[in-house]
Amino acid sequence: MSGSRLRATSVMVRFVTNTTKESKQDLLERLKKLEFDISEDEIFTSLTAARNLVEQQQVRPMLLVDDRALPDFKGIQTSDPNAVVIGLAPEHFHYQILNQAFRLLLDGAPLIAIHKARYYKRKDGLALGPGPFVTALEYATDTKATVVGKPEKTFFLEALRGTGCEPEETVMIGDDCRDDVGGAQNAGMRGILVKTGKYRAADEDKINPAPYLTCESFPHAVDHILQHLL
């Protein structure tokens, strides 16, 4: 497996994700079932980044996240909310709930977006991500969300914390040209775009600077790293 080939070298591996549809523990278990050789401290999620910000700001969030992501906010006070945290939560994205969030924001509550992805890949095809809903709330309230996940520079730098690695010594492999590759390159890393998952033809032309490399798949990206970057 490609990850194992990287581990056989001195390369340190981190898994970074914007997923907000499950907790870190659920994600870890799912990856292990897929036979990923992975430990919890190697995963950095946008939910972790959002929780860190909520704790720093000492706010009580209205959590617009999937119910399966709630364990990552365990112990956070959410009654009488004075902030809005929004991730991917299709079952919560209806008029009544969004209007409740809108009114909190009008009263001065901060808007924290776990990420602003335009769309994501489901088994039945592409689907709207949280980005359009965050943007709707920004537009209606004339405010700007604080975004904590990819492609934010702080997200990538937080993920590197404790690794002893500098951004320029780091390669990000992902299928999202803006959030994975563009974000990583803005943080000083090299970005490799893979033509799998949510990739669509000519995605590599959507960012400037262009990806360091565009590959057919993750194993091809690993081949390049092993042959040219070590």
Q: Give yes or no for a contact between 229 and 12, defined as CB atoms under 8 angstroms apart.
A: no
Q: Give yes or no for a contact between 137 and 62, defined as CB atoms under 8 angstroms apart.
A: no
For 72, which DSSP code?
A: G
Residue ranges, the chain, pLDDT below 50: none
Amino acid at 149: G
Q: Residue 192: what pLDDT?
A: 96
Q: Residue 120: what pLDDT?
A: 87
Q: From residue 162, how far is each of 12, 14, 181, 202 by CA, in Å?
A: 11, 11, 22, 35
Q: Residue 1: what pLDDT?
A: 56
Q: Distance between CA atoms of 81 and 109, rounded to whole angstroms?
A: 8
Q: Give yes or no for a contact between 181 and 192, defined as CB atoms under 8 angstroms apart.
A: yes
What pTM was estimated for this model as a whole? 0.80
